[in-house]
Each structure stands twice: as structure tokens, then as C-alpha cells.
Amino acid sequence: MKKDTIAILGAGKVGTAVGFLLRSSGYNIVAVASRSNESIKRGVEYTRGKPFRNLSRAAAMAECIIISTSDDAIASVCEKITKDGAVSPGKKVIHMSGAGGLDLLESARKSGAHVASIHPIQSFADVTGAIENIPGATFGITARKEIKNWSVQIVKDLGGVPFFVSEKDKPLYHAAACMASNYLVTLMNMVVEVYKALGLKHDEAMKAFWPLVRGTIKNIENQGTVESLTGPISRGDIGTVEKHLQAFQTKLPEFLNLYRELGIFTVDIGHRKKTLSDERAKEIKLLLSGGLKDE
């Protein structure tokens, strides 16, 4: 497949890393544009693209325009570069939002461009981490028919694994990614707060529970979610679950509802694992739903 010339609009962590990886795969990054001088400097360093403050001038130079701005800015950037004449029939215009659909690129499509969304299911703390983590990541692709094969190829050139997400399913697809990453961070932060309530400092708390988290993640990777479930709910130990509820109610009541809700879903996993009988599953769900053990 012919490798298009590329313009990166928005030289943040993801845009810069994608530009670097595409350049490493033989693509010519002809332009890097951003509103921040610092971002432009970093983007040029990684991609060797020509620096621009004017997004439309940068976009006009390339056969493929990758809009890697914040989600809220994608539509307005697309409309701006289209209005300025930087988008012509046959060009490719791509955005990298997980939740946003192709409607964000509608102005480019109406001008004859081929449009797609290509989103890596990965978390990026900085450019270096993004460059390391993108290869091997799965990418959700939402694309017009005429650009589907091209989208698959560019994901492969990034070292990624492609799969297609329908327009209507993008919000749910992105919500799942947020749960896997953002909510995991939130859950780990809550665990830190529990240990801090017991008198440990932040670093001591992390040191205390992180081997458990690392072991659990390894088990999930090797055995899947259902077979990796351990603990009192998996064993049907209703007395222990009741003690947990009492402890949260006494010391950290703000965490009680989340513990209950997660526990209810955990019961279903334990039941699927067949370590939890129908009767005991019902009893634990009743307890977690606010019922009493002796009712």
C-alpha cells in the first residue's frame, strides 16, 4: 500500500507518538501543527515534520490529516481546515477519539475526503510511554467503506491489532476502555485510602497491596476473569462479607455502596466459576443489597 504523506494536527502525547511510529514505519510526516510552541518543538523532534502554528497550512501539505486534538476540538478543527481549503476530494482525514464518531469529520466528508476514526485501547502518561505502549495495542476502527482496508493497514504499521467498531457502539466501546483504565486507577486509589485509614502512608500502602494486584493481573492474563476470581465471595464465605460491610459502615461509610455494588457483580462471577452454590449466591446478594443474614 502506498504510504501517504501525513500531517499531525495536535502534537500532544498520542499525536506525537503516532507520528514517531509512522515515521519509523516509512511514512513521511510533512507537517506538525499545534497551538503550543512547546508541543510543536516536541512534535518536530519526534516526527521530523515541518512545524506550523496554522493548522490549515499544515493540513494542506498532506494526503492524510490526523486530528489528534482534544475530543471537544475535533469537529471545529475539521470545519476550520475544510473551510480554508485544506481538505480536497480523495484526501484522508482521521481522528483518534475513542468516544467520537465520524460525525465529527462530516465537514471533511462533504468536501470529498475519506474519513475514519482510529483509537488505541491504551493509556498514555507521556510520549515515551505512548511510543512503548502503542505497538501491541488493539485499535478500534470506525471507517467509511472506501477507507477500511487503508485503516487496517495503518494500524498494522503502528504495530497495533485492528478491530471494527460501529458508529452506534463507539460510546459503549470507549466506556469499557475507561472502566479498564480510569476506573482501575480510581479503585486502586480507594484501596490506598483504606490502608491509609489503617495508619499506613501512601508509599507503604502501595507496597502492601501492589504484589497482590500484580499477581491478579497476571492471573487474568493467563486464565481469564472467571477462573482468576478468589476471595470470600468466590468461596461463599458470607460471614466474612458481613464483617467487611460492618467495617466500612463504621470506618469508611463513603466506600460502602461501591463495595456492595461490586460485590453483587462478583457473586455472578463466582456462580459462573461454580464455586458458589445457587443458595449461597442468593444469600450473599441479599446481604449486599441491604438485607440481613438472619432474615
DSSP string, 119-133: EE----SSHHHHHHH
| Total count of residues recorded for the chain | 295
B/e letters for 170-192, b = 16+ CB within 10 Å, e = fewer, are: beebbeebeeeeeeeeeeeeebb
Residue-by-residue pLDDT tens, the chain, 295 positions: 789 999 999 999 999 999 999 999 999 999 999 988 999 999 999 999 999 999 999 999 999 999 999 999 999 999 999 999 999 999 999 999 999 999 999 999 999 999 999 999 998 889 999 999 999 999 999 998 999 999 999 999 999 999 999 999 999 999 999 999 999 999 999 999 999 999 999 999 999 999 999 999 999 999 999 999 999 999 999 999 999 999 999 999 999 999 999 999 999 999 999 999 999 999 999 999 986 544 4
- Residue 197 pLDDT: 95
Taking a C-beta distance cutoff of 8 angstroms, is the pair 111, 88 a contact?
A: yes
For residue 58, give the nearest of 92, 87, 38 by alpha carbon: 87
Taking a C-beta distance cutoff of 8 angstroms, is the pair 4, 62 a contact?
A: yes
Three-state DSSP class for residue 48: coil
Instruction: Give the strands of the sheet with 64-67, arranged side by side.
Output: 50-52, 28-33, 5-9, 64-67, 92-95, 114-120, 138-143, 161-164
- Residue 35 pLDDT: 87
Name residue 6's beta-bridge partners.
Answer: 29, 64
The residues spanned by each domain of the chain are 5-165, 173-288
For residue 243, give the nearest of 193, 205, 188, 293 by alpha carbon: 293
- Residue 292 pLDDT: 53
Taking a C-beta distance cutoff of 8 angstroms, is the pair 241, 263 a contact?
A: yes
- Tell me which residue has cell 490526523: 66
- Residue 125 pLDDT: 82
Taking a C-beta distance cutoff of 8 angstroms, is the pair 53, 33 a contact?
A: yes
Which tens digits make up the pLDDT trace of 75-133?
999 999 999 999 999 999 999 999 999 999 999 999 999 999 999 999 888 999 999 99
Q: How far is CA 178 from the centre of its chain?
A: 5
- Residue 153 pLDDT: 96
Three-state DSSP class for residue 244: helix
The domain 5-165: what is its CATH number? 3.40.50.720
Q: Residue 288 is placed in which grid cell?
A: 449486599
- Residue 290 pLDDT: 86
Domain 173-288: state its class.
mainly alpha
Taking a C-beta distance cutoff of 8 angstroms, is the pair 161, 140 a contact?
A: no
